[in-house]
Amino acid sequence: MPQVMEFKLPDLGEGLTEAEIVRWLVAVGDVVAIDQPVVEVETAKAMVEVPCPYGGVVTARFGEEGEELPVGAPLITVAVGAQSLPAGAAEAAEAEGSGEAPRPLIGYGSDHSRPARRRRVRPVTAAVSAPVTAPAPAPAPAPAPAPALAPAAPAAPAGPVPVISPLVRKLAKDGGVDLRALHGSGPEGLILRADVEAALAALRAPAPAPAPAPAAVSAQGERIPLKGLRGAVAEKLSRSRSEIPDATCWVDADATELMAARAAMNAVGGPKISVLALLARICTAALAKYPELNSTVDLAAKEIVRLPSVHLGFAAQTERGLVVPVVRDAQGRNPESLSAEFARLTELARSGRLAPADLTGGTFTLNNYGVFGVDGSTPIINHPEAAMLGVGRIIDKPWVHQGQLAVRKVVQLSLTFDHRVCDGGTAGGFLRHVADCVESPAVLLRSL
């Protein structure tokens, strides 16, 4: 009999508790392979495709497009095992496995380099409807075991594969590394990126050549050319560190009311508004009050140049590395317009189709590092800008609210600023205004 496995909405690592179903990528009756994306969801911070860790036939879906589900709620059920699949479909469902019944994998990850695969097949009931009634052949004498098969191959380790990072999962998948064959060097056997890279190096070891390749492994370790996007980022960050005397201040803020305001705005229909868009609107209001931070330093003229428009950059991590797309004239955009522009630029960044104009001319940067599951950071200013606001994950924490201890949604905000353009009082005033708007969105209305 087939085994029906239930796949639940995983914790997407952002400190949030729910996600909205944007688009189903499979239907009931479809055959899915291990790690195939099955649904596109949107959290308060990102839109991601969620892959299923089981291979088999989809027997049920839970939730409609536009519906919000809590983390841990069922997404789909999958009938696994070759006997549950229609003729010829078992190979498709097990194309990424080893031929065994698939097992749940820890972690999640999406491969945006290729579209989700869909294959329509006959309903599951047609594949398992009536048993075959033909008489069984008479049993034949069991042959003697072949000597060549005597040494049994080591069995794959039981239970989940100890992998947490989606980047590690994708690196192994793209390189053809079987994670079940690796022994992790992390705590309790956790498979780390270094373990996968070592396996890839062993698989791709080049034949001896007269001259070493640029990235050849020497006695000093692997040499990777610092060029392209990685080289450009390194040069920009090094210049920022060498030229800008930066300082950082930070504060924890109660984001409960901001999250409630977003939920209320999205409940009335129309385009969805992201948390990033609300934070961007708060930033532009704070920069209008503290214009010193929307400036740059002209070293040749020995002048501080205050800029009339806010061209808001936001940090976006892609497969090629970190990029900072720029939203032009952000001070004149409402939350709906900001949400749409963030979504457009993010899609271009992920597909590698950003134009040079999309990556230049920024005057202030909003860095949402909470998507990586971290609370705080001291980011490097995006030269030649004068400041950057960092936003950590929004997570439930104990908080004193109206004189009582309560569980609230708390976020850490950090501001790294060029100490040449302003002193700590101005930087602290800006950050406090941002925090006040996060804690009480009504403050933002008063500042407009």
| Rounded alpha-carbon distances, angstroms, from residue 195 to 106, 155, 178 | 16, 20, 12
Mean pLDDT, residues 409-424: 97
Q: Given this model, what pLDDT does residue 201 score?
A: 79
Q: Given this model, what pLDDT does residue 448 score?
A: 61
Residue 113 CA, chain-centre distance (Å), reads: 14
Domain ranges, ordered by start, for the chain? 1-127, 166-206, 228-447
Mean pLDDT, residues 331-353: 92
Mean pLDDT, residues 151-180: 65
Q: Given this model, what pLDDT does residue 120 score?
A: 38
Please indicate whether the domains covering 166-206 and 228-447 agree at the CATH topology level: no
Q: What percent of the chain has pLDDT over 90?
A: 46
Assess whether 383 carries a catalytic annotation: no
Nearest-5° angle of CA 296, CA 393, CA 237? 35
Binned at pLDDT 50, 70 and 90, residue 43 comes out as low
Kindly report the CATH number that applies to the domain delimited by 1-127.
2.40.50.100
Backbone dihedral region of 176: left (phi > 0), alpha (psi from -120 to 50 degrees) or beta? Answer: left
Mean pLDDT, residues 14-27: 79
Which of 11-20, 100-109, 201-210 is predicted with the least confidence, judged by mean pLDDT? 100-109
Q: Given this model, what pLDDT does residue 105 score?
A: 38
Which of 125-129, 187-191, 223-227, 291-295 is predicted with the least confidence, judged by mean pLDDT? 125-129
CA pair distance 298, 310, nearest whole angstrom: 18
Q: Which two tokens stand for residue 38?
A: 């099955």
Higher-pLDDT residue of 46, 226: 226
Binned at pLDDT 50, 70 and 90, residue 210 comes out as low
Cβ atoms of residues 283 and 364 within 8 Å? yes
| Bridging pattern class, strands 321-323 and 316-318 | antiparallel
pTM above 0.85, yes or no: no
Cβ atoms of residues 161 and 105 within 8 Å? yes
Q: Given this model, what pLDDT does residue 68 score?
A: 84
CATH 3.20.20.80 fits 166-206, yes or no: no
Which of 81-90, 98-107, 364-373 is predicted with the least confidence, judged by mean pLDDT? 98-107
205-210 contacts at long range (C-beta below 8 A, 24 or more positions apart): none
Q: Given this model, what pLDDT does residue 355 score?
A: 79
Q: Given this model, what pLDDT does residue 250 score?
A: 96
Q: Given this model, what pLDDT does residue 47 score?
A: 60
Q: Which of 183, 311, 401, 419 is catalytic?
A: 419
Kindly report the CATH number that applies to the domain delimited by 228-447.
3.30.559.10
Q: Given this model, what pLDDT does residue 193 score?
A: 77
